Amino acid sequence: MSLPKDFMWGFATAAYQIEGASEADGRGPSIWDTFCAIPGKIADGSSGAVACDSYNRTKEDIDLLKSLGATAYRFSISWSRIIPLGGRNDPVNQKGVDHYVKFVDDLLEAGIQPFITLFHWDLPDALDKRYGGFLNREEFPLDFENYARVVFKAIPKCQHWITFNEPWCSSILGYNTGYFAPGHTSDRSKSTVGDSAREPWIVGHNIILAHARAVKAYRDDFKPTQGGEIGITLNGDATYPWDPEDSADVEACDRKIEFAIGWFADPIYFGHYPESMRKQLGDRLPTFTPEEVELVKGSNDFYGMNHYTANYIKHKTGVPPEDDFLGNLETLFYSKKGECIGPETQSFWLRPMAQGFRDLLNWLSKRYGHPKIYVTENGTSLKGENGMKLEQIVEDDFRVKYFNDYVNAMATASAEDGVNVKGYLAWSLMDNFEWAEGYETRFGVTYVDYADDQKRYPKKSAKSLKPLFDSLIKKE
């Protein structure tokens, strides 16, 4: 038994990926509705308009969670369901509020703790059109704080709040590569707008400020009576030197994590950006005013960790191009000796390597002073899963092994290394809209038959987690 007795486990999802009902009950469009309508942006030309139809199937989803033994469920709220136009002077949509209030009540009645993510990439489109959305340092943090306050007030029973999910993705994929909404990039063959060398760093800065404002609002005006906790969820991969004998490769491993995780976590824990980022980016990286430092530093009750994969890291020499966001390095799946980091999956970026999970947990714990950590996403796709027959899909032994290896690596980090990890939320409860990959990639522990009324079929991996956690969580 190597996980604490109060350890919580369950599954995670996001609003735009599962809810559907994109125009129901007064919901306004998000930047993803707009992005999906642009030909060529989504692999299969699809969108989240219907997805898993979870907006209309909350009872079904809760019954599924109960049947799998989950004690926690992480989901996100659609900002444009709550405030369709997004802004602090725009009307609140009570039907949207009521939907989530009832959902939380029903989860708690089922014995499942809600982990609510306020923002999982689906910015109200009206704010993007009104003032440039994330790019506006004055307006965006205030509008996000207002939205957060509306939700905090409406759902006092929730004890676990996450402000932003993976701001790296919103910043880099949304404003550097153009791979995600709103699709800004300097590559004019992909977008008529964007500055890949500057916009991502502005967006990241404004998200940090918005996060900190929401945390302050919660701590000042809601936590004293509600008693919950609030943090941010950051994504990052484990890193290993391509050539362990080359000190530049060893050094580049830390730099890669700093450019992914430290970008957001260092300001929150230390009040400033990593030195490696300041050195490379110069005045393209915004600076915090003294008032902002005071607001941002310490604005985390826990660290939300999204983790999937690992890479070998090879340093680059010379001056990096202005649009470089990795830290002047390459990420590889093979080492200098030809060792492979892990087997292929359906996702070009994901190779399982469970030891990397333990190592990154330790890296985070040491750097940030042993914070409480919730693993808010961890999971895998399977190569070719979407082309399989149902009877093959539900026998997802590859995913069962992934969860077994990764959860055991986490348990070892807890028991042997002293990492303060308190929860684990597998990605994902069910197959869903996988952003730019549409419905071609599946991460769910439950198969969703999109062609047959979104019917759900739990896979072997869905049923594997309860016995796994039962064997690891201390009873007393």
Q: Output phi, psi for 160, to 5 deg.
A: -135, 110
117, 233 contact by CB (below 8 A)? yes
- What is the number of other CB atoms lying within 10 angstroms of the CB of residue 187? 13
- Per this entry, what is the length of the chain? 476
CA distance 420 to 371: 7
Amino acid making up residue 69:
G
Strands 229-235 and 455-458 turn out to be unpaired
Handedness of CA 79, 33, 212, 55 (dihedral sign): positive
Name, in order, each residue with C-beta under 8 angstroms of 242's C-beta and a sequence gap of 6 or more. 249, 312, 313, 314, 330, 332, 335, 336
CA distance 476 to 470: 12
237, 309 contact by CB (below 8 A)? yes
N-to-C CA span, the chain:
10
Helix (H), strand (E) at residue 446? strand 446-449
385, 393 contact by CB (below 8 A)? yes
Angle at 294 between CA 293 and CA 298, to 5 degrees: 95
Q: Give catalytic residues, as residue numbers.
A: 166, 377
Helix (H, G, I), strand (E, B) or coil at 260: helix
Handedness of CA 299, 303, 307, 312 (dihedral sign): positive
Place of tokens 């005013």: 289
Handedness of CA 326, 203, 429, 386 (dihedral sign): negative
Question: Which residue, 305, 325, 331, is CA-closest to 253?
Answer: 331
Name, in order, each residue with C-beta under 8 angstroms of 467's C-beta and a sequence gap of 6 or more. none
357, 424 contact by CB (below 8 A)? no
CA distance 61 to 83: 25
420, 372 contact by CB (below 8 A)? yes
CA distance 376 to 162: 9
